[in-house]
Chains A and B, each alone.
Chain A
Amino acid sequence: MANITFITQDNIPVTVHGESGSVMELAVENNVAGIDGDCGGVCSCATCHVHVAKEQFSLVGQASEIEKDMLELDDDADEYSRLCCQIDITPELDGLVLTVAGQ
C-alpha cells in the first residue's frame, strides 16, 4: 500500500512497506530504532514521536488535540511533530519520510 522511510536517530534511512494498521505498528514490526510504542498505540505514552518532512506534512495532517498535548511531554516536539500511532497507513502516504525524534 505505501512505502515509508524512517530516518533513525543514527541518521540511517530505513524504508519499509506497510499494508495496514498504524505507522507506529509498522515501525515496531520492522524494529525501527527509537520507535517504542510502549502503550500499544493508544496515544498514552509519546514513545512513537516522529518529525514529518515539512513539505509532506499535509499528507499526514494535523495532530488531534490530545495528541498535541501529549507531544508537549517531549521538549524536542515542533510544528511538524506527530505521534505515529495516530497515523494510519493509507496509499497516500507512499513515499513519506519520517525522522525519528531524538531521545
Chain B
Amino acid sequence: MSSQPNDTPASATLQNDAQPRVIDENTDLSTLTDQEIMKLMEGMDHQEDQMNKPLISTPVPLVVIRQEYERGNIQILKKLDWLAENGWDQVWRARGDGDCFYRSFTLAYLVRILHSPDPQLEANLAFDAIQRALPAMEQCGFDKELYEEFLEPLLALIRSFAEGDHEETSTEYGIVQTLQDPERSNCIVVALRLITSSYIRTHSDLFSPFLLSPTTFLPLTTDDFCRSEVEPCGKEADHAQIMALAEAMNIGIRIAYLDRSDLGGIDDGQGNESVINWVEFGKDASENSQPLTLLYRPGHYDVVTKDVPPKL
C-alpha cells in the first residue's frame, strides 16, 4: 500500500554483489544493516514478498525454521531444540499479512478434526460449537445473512468431515489446498473475526481492562477495540482476541512463544520441564484434549504440530 514506485536506479547506490538476504520474522533484529532497516521502513519489499506467499503452506520440518536462526539468539535455538526433542517437528507457515493467527487457527482446527479418533463426532461437536456462537453475533447487531455468508465455507468444510469421504477434507494436503483458495480463506478469516468480536462485545466486563490500542497502548472502549482491532482484516490478534476465539469456539489453544527470554526450565503444565513458554487459552488446553498448537514469533503466528502418520 504505497504510492512509491519500486525502481531504485541501479547506478545510484553502492553496488553489492551479494544477493540481498531474505528478512522475515526469523531474522535476528540486531544483525540488520542500516540499509536493510531503511528497506524495512519503506515496508515495500517486505510486504510485496509476503503477498506472494501462500496463505497457508504444507508443513516444513522444524529443522528448516532452526536453520533460519542458526546464527541467531541462543535462547531461541534452545527453545527450538526443546520443541524438536519433544516431537514438535512440523511447522505450517501462514502468510504474514496480519491474518496469520486466524488462518493458523483454521488450519489447526480442521487438522485437529482430521486426526481425531472420531472425525465425524468431532465435526459434529465443532458444528455445534459454532452454532452456539451465533446468538452473540445477532445480539451484537451483525446482519444475519451477512455473517452466515462468511461462515458458510467453514461450515461446509466441517460438514464434509461429518459426511466423510470428501477429497477436500480427507487429507492434510486437501485441507491446505482448500485453505489456499483466497475467497474461502478470507471468508473464514472474516467469520472468525466476527465470532471473536461478538464474544468480546458480549463479555465486555471481562475484557475491557485489557483492550488497549496496539500502537498507543491507551485503553480503548470495547466498541472501538472491536471496530478497529478485531473486525478489519489484516489486524494482528493479541491475547484478548485469542482468548475470545478460544472461548467462543470452546476449544483449547496452546501457543509456544519463541522469544529470547531465558526460562531456565519451567513446568510445562504436563509435569515436564520446558524451556519454552506455552501460553494456554480456552477452558481446557491440556495436551490430552488435543488443543490447537501454534508457534508465536514476535508479530507472527504459525501452526506447530507433531507429525501424524497418514491413516491407511
Question: Are A and B co-members of a single complex?
Answer: no
B interface list, Cβ under 8 A from A? none
A interface list, Cβ under 8 A from B? none
